[in-house]
Amino acid sequence: MIHPTSGNIHPAPFIRVLRGYKRSFLRGDVMAGLTVAIFAVPQAIAYGMLAEVDPIHGLYAAMVASIVAALWGSAPFVNTGPTNSASLLTAAAMFPMMTLVVPEYHMQMVFLFTLLVGIIRMTMGLLRMGGLIHFVPESAFLGFTMGVGSMIALGRLHHLLGIDKGEETWFPSQVVDKLGRITEADPHAVAVSALTLGIMFGLNKYGKRFPVALLAMGAGIAYAYWMPGCQIILVQDISPVPTGLPTPVSPFFEGWAQHIPALLPGALAVSVVGLIEAVSIGQTLAVRHRMRLNFNQEFFGQGLGMIASSFFQGIPGSGSFSRSTLIEESGGVTFVANVIFGLATALALITLPGLINLIPAASLAGLLLFIGVRLIDPKRVKRLWRTSRIDVGVMIATLLVTVFIRIEYGIFTGIILAAMLLLQRSRSLHLKEILPQPDGSFEERPYTPGSQHEQSSLVGLSLHGDLSYTVAHELLEQLNEITQIQDPEVIILRIRQTHAIDFSSWNAILDFSESFQKNGRKVYLTGIDDSTRKTIRDARAHKWLPDEQLFVGTPVLMESFRQAIRQAAENLTDTQRISGVWKDWLENPVVISREQLSDIQKFLNGESLDG
């Protein structure tokens, strides 16, 4: 059951699971698949409407994508199909495109868009780009989710109120326009919407054990059928749901290639957002079962699911958190649960189209309002506010771009803004001066440029954090400033606390060491490892950083630094210029052996000491 942790793509990962499949798994998988199908049918129809296409295409996507993505993915519980964000992004991406093709090609344009999403995701998997998912900041995704939630909640106000959609195209203007016509609302549409919302919010705590959405849709159908004088819009008035399974279609049409550049930004946004959702869901559920995901395999499976969906009239989608969680909580064990889900959805297409046609649009609008509100998580927003105001700015910027500019640009705005802030943070050089204390320990004090220091022939320094190209120039400047102010004969540079050193920073250290050595002085490096020693040799820098000036770190804290200090002190030509604190430490060192350090640790841990 545990999937491979490597980044390799397996052409048929489902075979491994089937080889170890037990009869005892079947009952849980079947029950989970059937249970989620009952819950998902009204949701998939609502997402089809949210994508501004015939609602049936939401069901087609749920049926095909769930099966294919389950077979070729990595996360057994992730249910793939139409989702709120993917549907909303699809509607936004398709809106400006529909005027560019003749009406009979409109749906093929949508299917072409689904195909592009699949190709992008599959390509990311094949190129082993699964690790890129870690570069999407939580604050950006939270802001995007809030924006999407707002647009989903308010995007179907016309169905909620029973009025026409209006002529406005900008989302904020649409909301203002519809609210301005609230006096024209159809009382029956408002009543059905209120009934749906009442059921969804009132019975939501039972939502994992009972198909609340199905009950809400049934209540809407009953109201529309039995209430005298009720003439509200039904699904069949928007687009009748046909009986039977989807027939294969080609997403290609006359002149399709020329539209690819215009479709790519939206397809990339759907791909990235969908993969974030799928991986986040898969990882959360995998942790519960002590599984480890292969992100690249999941990318591949999600992409293949979208490609298959595009040839069977499906809209873009991704992993659904609500459906995936329900798969797991309903007893699902393997990917077979999602296959059963797809087959059950297909059965609904054959047996239930008559009932689906009778669902009021106001009921679906109420369901979408519920989903949109639930997407906004006040607890996470409060936690973000209390922990990082900078990330709050990223969240707000992402939210505003999503709602007020274009939804496709929202998530990318957050990613770019967070990357710029990270780059700004990485410009901070963490250079500290090491000074000995009377008890034999060492204190690290931040080295402030321009500050006053007494001259000393011996100076100890420590570098912390990542040394990227953004701090290389400042590092060289500060080392040169230290040379001018303190005029040291030896600099002991501890790099044990550096996480990574790129070429620019290495170049600064090596250039300084070379010029320092040519002036008859020495740089000692402590806390290094064997790879650092090899880097210095490969850079042909061993002339000014020979092995006797390199000290490999040991498990004992500061031991290599102590060794370097003593060796440097023995080789000083001008011992009179050693600063007072170093002179005192060298004359009266507090030496702690490894055995003493072990005894101290045992004492601190409450263990008994030997002897």
Q: Per residue in 98-121, pLDDT tens? A: 778 888 899 999 999 999 999 999
How far apart CA 281 and CA 392 sit, in angstroms, is: 23
How far apart CA 386 and CA 406 sit, in angstroms, is: 29
Rounded to an integer, the average pLDDT of 334-348 is: 94
Percent of the chain having pLDDT more than 90? 45
**Sheet of strand 442-446: strand arrangement:** 442-446, 430-436, 458-467, 490-501, 522-528, 550-552
Question: How would you write 63-129 as a 3-class SS string?
Answer: HHHHHHHHHHCCCCCCEEECCHHHHHHHHHHHCCCHHHCCHHHHHHHHHHHHHHHHHHHHHHHHCCC
Evaluate whether 457 touches 450 at the Cβ level (below 8 Å): no
Residue 591 has pLDDT above 60, yes or no: no
How far apart CA 234 and CA 214 sit, in angstroms, is: 16
User: pLDDT class for 594, splitting at 50, 70, 90?
Assistant: low
Q: Which residue has 């170049």 as its token pair?
A: 507
**Model pLDDT, residue 611:** 44
| DSSP-derived pairing of the beta strands 442-446 and 458-467 | unpaired
Rounded to an integer, the average pLDDT of 134-138 is: 79
Residue 470 has pLDDT above 90, yes or no: no
Rounded to an integer, the average pLDDT of 377-398 is: 90
Nearest to 304 by CA among 41, 64, 91, 88: 64
Lowest-confidence segment of 79-93, 207-221, 274-288, 409-423 by average pLDDT: 274-288
How far apart CA 322 and CA 370 sit, in angstroms, is: 13
Q: Please, what is the Cα angle at 410 between 406 and 415, to 5 degrees?
A: 150
What one-letter code names the amino acid at 53? V
Rounded to an integer, the average pLDDT of 532-553 is: 87
φ/ψ region of 466 (left if φ > 0, alpha if ψ in -120 to 50, else beta) reads: beta
End-to-end Cα separation, the chain, in angstroms:
51
How far apart CA 339 and CA 76 sit, in angstroms, is: 10
**Model pLDDT, residue 598:** 57
Residue 146 has pLDDT above 70, yes or no: yes
User: pLDDT class for 593, splitting at 50, 70, 90?
Assistant: very low
3-state secondary structure of 319: strand
**Model pLDDT, residue 130:** 74
**Model pLDDT, residue 599:** 54
Residue 4 has pLDDT above 70, yes or no: no
Residue 211 has pLDDT above 90, yes or no: no
**Model pLDDT, residue 321:** 82
Listed by start position, the domains of the chain span: 24-241+274-376, 430-601
Rounded to an integer, the average pLDDT of 503-526 is: 91
User: pLDDT class for 459, splitting at 50, 70, 90?
Assistant: very high
User: pLDDT class for 491, splitting at 50, 70, 90?
Assistant: very high
For domain 430-601, the CATH class is alpha beta
Task: Select, from the ranges 87-101, 175-189, 381-395, the one with the highest average predicted confidence (pLDDT).
Answer: 175-189
Residue 2 has pLDDT above 50, yes or no: no
Residue 609 has pLDDT above 70, yes or no: no
**Model pLDDT, residue 530:** 87
